[in-house]
Amino acid sequence: MAPYLNNRRGDLFGILNRSHDEHWNPETDRMIAQKYSARDLRGKAACKADLQKRFGLQQRADWPVFGIVSRFADQKGFNLIKEALPRALNAMVMQVAVLGTGDSSTENFFHWLTATYPGRVGSYIGFSPELSHVVEAGSDFFLMPSLYEPCGLNQMYSMKYGTLPIVRATGGLEDSVQNYNEGNGEGTGFKFHDPTGNALYFTIGWAVSTWFDRPHHVATLRANAMAQEFSWEKSAAKYVEVYEHAIKKRRAAT
């Protein structure tokens, strides 16, 4: 379809989905241990402790927690996670909290990972809206290495909660996450391009090193992430523009 789409490129528009602030907002969320905001992040520490308790992780405020909330499907990059996470856990000081269900081999992988790294990996295989909020609020980083992602919502939820997304630069993930600039601390998360376990592994390492070596940059990234605007007002206005464009083209043709 590429030649046809290229010929009509002036008539193609990409519009991001948006998050629902009434459901995903750390200032009003009743499913998390303690509410918090960009102005007062003390509640996030309580949410992290709650996450660690619920998922059987060691109570270590100084260790970074990487969260995963997803359906277990190839699209979501779980082959990359299977390759990268054991290496990362062997080489780095970190914890992982996993919530999801789907492909049986991926479920078995996380059962194995939890048993192999007790106190450092915790998993809940299943569906739980409450726990999805717990993971988003309590994690420091959020793993979302999708092979393709037309838009994606969890990276937006994560930023809203001051949880820095680690994403592959594809589709809506590329559009909505600003890559960390190590020189000045700007950005809203961490991105990689190659769909390989190595690329994910080194990006996890980049996040871990930032956590321990440049904590002031983590604070800046969190502030930047929580300041992002993902309300439906912007996307609704773009839908209006698309309809106006279509009406104008139709009128010109007739």
Q: Give per-residue pLDDT as tens, 178-196.
A: 999 999 999 999 999 999 9
**Residue 244 pLDDT more than 80?**
yes
pLDDT attached to residue 253: 86
pLDDT at 245 over 80: yes
40 vs 227: CA distance, rounded Å? 13
**Selection from 239, 242, 167 nearest residue 18 by Cα:** 239
For residues 34-45, average pLDDT: 96
Provide the pLDDT confidence category of residue 231 given band limits of 50, 70 and 90: confident
Assign 71 a pLDDT band (cuts: 50, 70, 90).
very high
> Average pLDDT in the 30-36 region?
97
Indicate the pLDDT class of residue 229, thresholds 50, 70 and 90.
confident
* pLDDT above 80: residue 79: yes
Q: Which of 135, 122, 125, 126 is nearest to 95 (CA)?
A: 122
Each residue's pLDDT tens digit, 127-176: 999 999 999 999 999 999 999 998 899 999 999 999 999 999 999 999 99
Q: Nearest to residue 188, comparing CAs of 201, 173, 202, 200?
A: 173
Binned at pLDDT 50, 70 and 90, residue 14 comes out as confident
| CATH for the 21-253 domain, from 3.40.50.2000, 3.90.110.10, 3.30.70.100, 3.90.420.10 | 3.40.50.2000
Which one-letter DSSP state was computed for residue 75? Answer: G
Kindly list the domain boundaries of the chain, sorted by start residue.
21-253
Percent of all residues in the chain with a pLDDT value above 90, rounded to a whole number: 84
The dihedral region occupied by 190, where left means phi > 0, alpha psi between -120 and 50, and beta the remainder, is beta
Q: Where are the beta strands (DSSP E) in the chain?
A: 65-72, 95-102, 121-125, 141-144, 164-168, 190-192
The reported pLDDT for the residue numbered 19 is 74
Band the pLDDT of 11: cuts 50, 70, 90. confident
SS (HEC) of 28-44: CCCCCCCCCCCCCCHHH
- Residue 92 is classified by DSSP as S
pLDDT at position 23, please?
86
Query: Helices 215-226 and 197-213, interaxial angle, to 10°?
Result: 110
At 224, is the pLDDT very low, low, confident or very high (cuts 50, 70, 90)? very high
CA distances from 144 to 59, 109, 204 (A): 24, 17, 11
From residue 216, how far is each of 184, 186, 219 by CA, in Å?
10, 11, 5
Q: How confident is the model at residue 32 (pLDDT cuts 50, 70, 90)?
A: very high
| Residue 24: C-alpha distances to residues 96, 121, 129 (Å) | 22, 25, 11
Q: Residue 192 phi/psi, 5° resolution?
A: -135, 160
H or E, element range at 2: helix 2-7
